[in-house]
Chain A
Amino acid sequence: MKKYFILFTLIVSFTTAAIFFVIISKNKNSAKTEIKLSTNPSNKEEFCCVENLQAAGYSDNSIYQLKSIWRDENNTEVSLNKFYGKKVILSMIYTNCTIACPVIVNEMQRLEALIPGNAVNNYNFVVVSIDPKRDTPSRMKKFAEDRNLNLKRWTLLTGSVYNIAELAQAIGFRYKENQSGLFKHSNLITFINTKGEITDKIEGLNPKNEEFLTLLNK
């Protein structure tokens, strides 16, 4: 009789403890999710905008679906969809580069010169730096001035490591920084239509004028 009584009390206390434990652990769970939600409001805003962009009519393949924020050569914040409505000729370079990058920019200038008359005003020439450590907006501006780039049509962008990677992946540009701060990279000029869709790419250096012209006339 006494034995049962002791067992009984033991079991009752066990169950009470168990109930408490369950209640506490459940409360903990909801607290955790609350914290998680409250630490992510900024992300919510960010992802909201992807839908807004879709609503704005950018197609599934438009690079204007990227919501990254950049700085131009005047240190003004710009997003890529600033270029919406004009054709874009874009390259990714770094100003410390001595071999291929000046050639790529020269080629873009050669292209610019090939576009007849006022038609050139329908184009934006965009140069994006892949070297955020060294390429500040002021350095990009100096780069533009040294090469006489017409800043009415040309924009030179600097951005975060993340945004650079995202844009590079979107246009199929590959790069790799080595330990001495030099980059291996694709030599790529990307042609983008008024809606932000990639229409053509030129890879490699020194394409012929005729090649340029066929792309421009597309």
Chain B
Amino acid sequence: MIVIKNIFKLCLAVFIIMNSELLQAANSTKPEISKMIFVTGGYYKPLFKEENESGKKFVKPFYIDACSVTNSQYLEFVKENPAWRRSNVIHLFSDRNYLRKWKSDLELGSSVSANKPVTNISWFAANAYCKWAGKRLPTVDEWEYAFNKKYKNFNENSCTALYEWTFNFNETDFQAGSYCGGAGSSSNDPENYNAFIRFAFRNSLKANYSLDDLGFRCAESAPGKAFSENYSVNIKTSR
């Protein structure tokens, strides 16, 4: 009887240990492949109206990462591509703040959490990562359109960097002075303060800036749904 009781205790212990290992295993698989949201195409109202245009733009269907790219995901990329390690990256592609908070080329260190969005990444670096992952950066229109749809996660602080790169981040109304004084008059929605801040922020960026709160996520054209034929084809041929 006592023997059986002891065996029972032993089994229980083994069971608990196995369980905790199971949990760990489940956790370690987390950053493997990031989930993507399918965004159906539709009309979108950009913050700034084009001259002589209705103010609405059609956005073709696409996929977008549910969360910003994380530190551990980016670490995988850096491991495989030595040119993008902190000590190797060239000035044309990034300023000196590139991966500033990481402990070293291949170590995150204790102050950086693996599953939080990676920041201090330049536009060139974000592009290179998305290319490596078989994706591309979303356009401004795609990013804003998806954001407006208020997907769960996308608008959550826990998995989204404060600001994010887009493929054509500085193409909006770059003419001098467009953000001073009269800017509100060409805006479709003067009350959309946050969107305005995002546009102003993007407009102030340069492609080799690596800033503290600036991360990114990747997108993919929806296959067979003719995103913009030229766009996707061209990306492929450029490899």
Contact = CB atoms under 8 A, between A and B. Distances in A.
Interface of A: 1, 4-5, 7-8, 11-12, 14-15, 18-19, 21-22, 25-26, 28-29, 32-33, 37, 39-40, 42-44, 46-47, 50-51, 54, 60-63, 65-66, 68-69, 132-133, 159-163, 165-166, 169-170, 172, 174-176, 178-180, 184, 186
A8 B4 contact: yes
B50 A178 contact: yes
Which 9 residue pairs are nearest across A and B when measured between Cβ atoms? A160-B234, A169-B207, A176-B171, A50-B83, A60-B91, A160-B238, A11-B11, A18-B18, A47-B81
The main secondary structure of chain A at its interface with chain B is: helix
Contacts of B21: 22
A15 B14 contact: yes
Contact of A46 (B8, B25, B91, B239): B239
Interface string B212-239: 0000000000000000001100110111
B191 interface: no
B50 A8 contact: no
Q: Which of B25, B51, B231 has the most CB of A within 10 A?
A: B25
Interface in B6-51: 7-8, 11-12, 14-15, 18-19, 21-22, 25-26, 28-29, 32-33, 50-51
A133 B171 contact: no
Q: Which of A66, A162, A175 has the most CB of B within 10 A?
A: A162
Interface of B: 1, 4-5, 7-8, 11-12, 14-15, 18-19, 21-22, 25-26, 28-29, 32-33, 50-53, 57, 80-84, 88, 90-93, 123-124, 127-128, 131-132, 134, 136, 167-168, 170-175, 206-208, 230-231, 234-235, 237-239
Given A14-B15, A160-B234, A161-B234, A44 B80 contact: yes
